[in-house]
Each structure stands twice: as C-alpha cells, then as structure tokens.
Amino acid sequence: MKIGIPGEIKAQEERVAITPAGVETIKREGHEVFIENNAGLGSGFSNEVYEKAGAKILGSPKEIFEISDMILKVKEPLEQEYNYLRENQILFTYLHLAAVPGLARKLLEKKVTGIAYETVQLPDSSLPLLTPMSEVAGRMSVQIACRLLEKYLGGKGILMGGVPGTLPAKVVIIGGGVVGANAAKMALGLRANVTILDINLDRMRYLNDIYAESLTTLYSNPYNIRQQVKSADVVIGAVLLTGKKAPCLVTEDMVKEMTPGSVIVDVAIDQGGSIETIDRVTTHENPTYIKHGVVHYSVANMPGAVPRTSTVALTNATLPYVVKLANYDLKEALERNEDLKLGVNTYKGYIVHKGVSSSMDLPYEDIEKLL
Ligand SMILES: NC(=O)c1ccc[n+]([C@@H]2O[C@H](COP(=O)([O-])OP(=O)(O)OC[C@H]3O[C@@H](n4cnc5c(N)ncnc54)[C@H](O)[C@@H]3O)[C@@H](O)[C@H]2O)c1
C-alpha cells in the first residue's frame, strides 16, 4: 500500500503523523511511505532521518494526496486540502466531524473512508488513540501549575513540593481518569498534597490502591468540591462525560473563595470546560488570565506545546492500526478488528458511526451492509 503523510497546516500544530521508527516498521511490512517535505521538522524529525528509514520525500501536499491509498494525519484536513481527497482513499486522523460539518459533507461527497482516531474503541470502552494525548495533558498540567504558582507569573509564590519545614502545595484534581491520574502521579512525585474527586467509586478504589496513603480520594459533589477548591493552591479540571459537553463543577462563587495567586488549569476546556470562570480558550502564546485574583489556564491543545513527545506517543498508539489497515484489504482489516471498525466514520458516501450520525443529525448506515 502507498501511505502518505502530509505536513500539518493547522495553526500551532507541530505534530506529524509518523516517526522515522514508524516508517521503518511500515517499510518492513512491504509498503511505501511518502512524506511531505519538512513535515516532521516541528517534531524534530528531518527529511534525512525519514529518508534513511525508507520514506520518499515529496514536495507538496497535492503530490502526497495524489499518490497515496491511505493518508495519515494528526488533525482533520482544512478547506484547502478538501479537494485533494479522492474516492476510496483512507483518511486516518483525528476527525471530530461534528465540529466540522463542511468536512463531513466533503468526505461523503467524495466517498472517502474516514477513520477517526477518537472513535477507535476497545471492548472496555476505552479510547486507545485519545489516551496518549490525555497522558501528555495530565502530566503537563502539573508542570504548568508549578510555573504558574511562581510569583512573577501571578501565582502565590509557593514551590509545588515545598522544602523541609514548609507546606507543599495543595493540588485538587476533579476527575480521576487518564488526565487526572497522570496529573496526580506528577504532583505526588513532586511531593504535593493531592486530592482527587470523582463520581466513579471503582476508579477511586483503584487510585486509592495504587497511591495508598499519599493520595486522598473524595466523592465529587458540590459540597466536597466547594470545600476542596476553597483550600486549594491548584485546581486541575479533568472531567469527561463521553460525547458530551463537560459539566460546570466549579462555580464562580467557589473561585471567589480561593486565595489570591491560586491556579486553575482546566484541561477539560476542549469539551467546554468545567470551571464557570473559564470563559475563553487561551493559547500557548498567551495561556493565562487572572480573574478574582486566581490564575486561569485554558489551552485546548496542550500536547501541541510538546510536539516531539506527543508525536512519538501518538504514533506509538496509531502504528499498529496503520499496519493492520495496510496489510489487509479494508473489509478484512475491519472484520478482524472491531476496535478499528468503530473508528470508521464515513464509508462509501455514508455516515457509519452511530454517535457521529446522531450528533450531526445525518442518516446512519450500518457498515456491515456496505462492506
Ligand atoms: N486541553 C487539552 O489539551 C486536552 C488534552 C487531552 C484531554 N483533554 C480533556 O481532558 C478531559 C479528561 O480526559 P480523560 O482522558 O482523563 O477522560 P477519562 O474518561 O479518562 O476521565 C474522566 C473522568 O471524569 C470523571 N467524572 C465524570 N463526571 C465527573 C464529575 N461530575 N465529577 C468528578 N469526576 C467526574 C469520570 O468518572 C472519569 O474518571 C476530557 O475533557 C478531555 O477531552 C484535554
């Protein structure tokens, strides 16, 4: 199979959909890899290292789309790429079609096989191609909070872990899933005082077992959230209601009760945010604002700040699926891999994912009938 990787053109997107190690793996399986000139530079991978791994460098996205049976990307195609797409081409990337109905129409019109990283789903309902980015964002949230607690960035001027004879920072994490657990791991590693609030008792039992006496878990309800937020130096928003907007859990009144110089990092901002005073999405260039004396951070693409790590983490997870798609014809690849089948959003001009069809109000077709 001919596999093409165009450079990402979305603003602030420095990731790329394959690493040189990934190219080598695909080549060993007997496929061809085409990469756009300098597509890997933002992640620290030069044309030369890709060529050494066996890829061919092409000068323009047009050439990549023309030659490739399967396109690998990180973010959804933008309008200037729509016309390159063609019938039966496989597009494997983060799609988030509900947010870009114009792209959905194009994929249907052009009969592109659109496979979305975010809907590939394992039998336990976990989303293996979202997990790596949640791991990155969870770990980053603490790294960021450490800096924001510093006085000259608006913080109250305390060191996350303290030193002997002083109190460490109190970190309150709302949501103990992938983001929350990774944030806790980092904060505990720095010797902060950490509390996680969640509504899933089994999850809290698990976290409690793993982190033993060093972590406090608390049931998430407005009473507990108010008590915890009030005394927190750092609040990390990490909730998710799959497929829904994040619930608002920390009200403006609660934020007003926090001490000046405290820090809020709302990782759930990409789902609308869970803190009432987070009223805007911020950027890596201008990541914070201060409201009621509290530093607010609400960057929606946190992994974009660490593209090298994010690219490697993402492609570690996507590569096995890429190999499956390349080694078998599409029907067989999907029949052998139910998780991958759930990733297919558009096929032969139909929406074939129930969730996507209902969130877009477009008719659904059963992929089994079309394969
Ligand atoms: N900003 C970014 O760059 C970025 C990057 C990755 C993920 N995210 C976002 O981070 C959020 C968390 O992702 P995740 O992968 O950890 O999800 P997850 O499903 O692994 O975990 C979410 C947790 O929230 C808990 N939860 C649900 N309702 C709750 C409530 N009312 N109170 C407390 N906990 C509650 C769930 O029980 C679950 O444990 C999502 O919104 C995701 O989109 C953002």
Q: Report the separation in Å between the CA atom of 245 and the middle of ligand 1, taken as the mean of its atom positions.
A: 11
CB distance 200 to ligand 1 below 6 Å: yes
Structural domains in the chain (count): 2
Give the CA distances from residue 248 to residues 172, 254, 275, 278, 279, in Å, rounded to whole numbers and listed in that order: 16, 12, 6, 10, 11
Q: Percent of the chain, pLDDT > 70?
A: 100
* 176-211 pLDDT per residue, tens: 999 999 999 999 999 999 999 999 999 999 999 999
Res. 143: pLDDT tops 80: yes
Position 360 confidence tier, pLDDT thresholds 50, 70, 90 = confident
Stretch 261-276: mean pLDDT, rounded? Answer: 94
209 is catalytic: no
Domain for residue 19, yes or no?
Answer: yes
By most ligand atoms within 8 Å of CB, the mutation choice from 140, 242, 267, 283 for ligand 1 is 267
**pLDDT > 90? residue 98:** no
Give tens-digit pLDDT for 33-62. Answer: 999 999 999 999 999 999 999 999 999 999
- Domain containing 341 equals 2-120+306-370
> Is 176 close to ligand 1, i.e. is its CB under 6 Å away?
yes
Q: Identify whether 126 is part of a domain.
A: no
Across 355-364, average pLDDT: 88
pLDDT at 245: 79
* Domain membership flag for residue 312: yes
> Is the CB of 141 within 6 Å of ligand 1?
no
Predicted confidence (pLDDT) at residue 361 exceeds the cutoff of 90: no
pLDDT of residue 243 exceeding 80, the answer is no
Of 255, 282, 305, which residue is a domain's last? 305
| 274 located within any domain | yes
Q: Does the Cβ of 269 fall within 6 Å of ligand 1?
A: yes
Q: Does the pLDDT value for residue 286 go beyond 70?
A: yes
- pLDDT score at 272: 86
Mean pLDDT of the chain: 96
Q: Express each pLDDT in 64-91 by its tens digit.
A: 999 999 999 999 999 999 999 999 999 9
pLDDT at position 323 is 98
Annotated active-site residue 96? The verdict is yes
Position 270 scores a pLDDT of 85
pLDDT at 366 over 90: yes
The pLDDT, as a whole number, for residue 26 is: 98
Mutate to test the pocket of ligand 1, among 117, 119, 124, 134 (most ligand atoms within 8 A of CB): 134
Q: Residue 151 Cα, ligand 1 centroid: separation in angstroms?
A: 29
Q: Residue 7 maps to which CATH number? A: 3.40.50.720
Q: pLDDT confidence of 222, banded at 50, 70, 90?
A: very high
Specify if 105 maps to a domain: yes
**In terms of domains, do 162 and 296 share one?**
yes
Q: How far is the CA of 241 from the centre of ligand 1 (A)?
A: 7
163 within domain boundaries? yes
Contact assessment for residue 167 and residue 126, using Cβ atoms and an 8 Å cutoff: no
pLDDT attached to residue 241: 83
pLDDT at 325: 98
Higher pLDDT: 291 or 242? It is: 291
Q: Is the domain of 228 the same as that of 85?
A: no
Q: Are residues 258 and 330 in the same domain?
A: no
* Residue 313 in contact with ligand 1 by CB distance below 6 A: no
The response to whether residue 302 sits with its C-beta less than 6 Å from ligand 1 reads: yes
Residue whose CB lies within 8 A of the most ligand 1 atoms, among 240, 288, 302, for a mutation test: 240
Same domain for 43 and 155, yes or no, is: no
My answer on whether 202 and 253 are in the same domain is yes
Which atom of ligand 1 is found nearest the CA of 249?
31
Separation of CA 209 and ligand 1 centre (Å): 20
Q: Band the pLDDT of 358: cuts 50, 70, 90.
A: confident
In a domain, 144, yes or no: yes
Residues 6+ apart with CB under 8 A from 5: 16, 17, 18, 33, 34, 35, 36, 39, 55, 64, 71, 72, 73
In this structure, are 220 and 296 located in the same domain? yes
- The CB of 330 under 6 Å from ligand 1? The reply is no
- Does residue 193 sit in the same domain as residue 82? no
Asked whether residue 286 falls in the same domain as residue 316, the answer is: no
The pick from 239, 282, 309 for probing ligand 1's pocket by mutation, whose C-beta has the most ligand atoms within 8 angstroms, reads 239
- Domain final residue, candidates 278, 305, 332: 305
Position 248 scores a pLDDT of 94
Q: Which of 11-15, 290-294, 346-350 has the lowest mean pLDDT?
A: 11-15
**Ligand 1 neighbour 267 (Cβ under 6 A):** yes
Please list, in sequence order, all residues whose beta carbon lies within 8 angstroms of the beta carbon of residue 237, skipping any fewer than 6 positions away: 174, 175, 246, 249, 250, 264, 265, 266, 267, 268, 269, 273, 274, 275, 278
Q: Which of 198, 266, 270, 339 is an active site residue?
A: 270
Closest of 130, 95, 129 to residue 112, by C-alpha: 95
pLDDT score of 346 more than 90: yes
Is there an atom of ligand 1 within 6 Å of 264 CB?
Answer: no
305, 322, 347: which is the final residue of a domain? 305
Does the pLDDT value for residue 311 go beyond 90? yes
Assess whether 268 and 233 both reside in one domain. Answer: yes
Domain match, 299 and 187 both: yes
Beta strands at 344-347 and 263-266: parallel, antiparallel or unpaired: unpaired
Q: Do 147 and 281 fall within a single domain?
A: yes
Q: Do both 233 and 342 map to the same domain?
A: no
Residue 310 Cβ contacting ligand 1 at under 6 Å: no
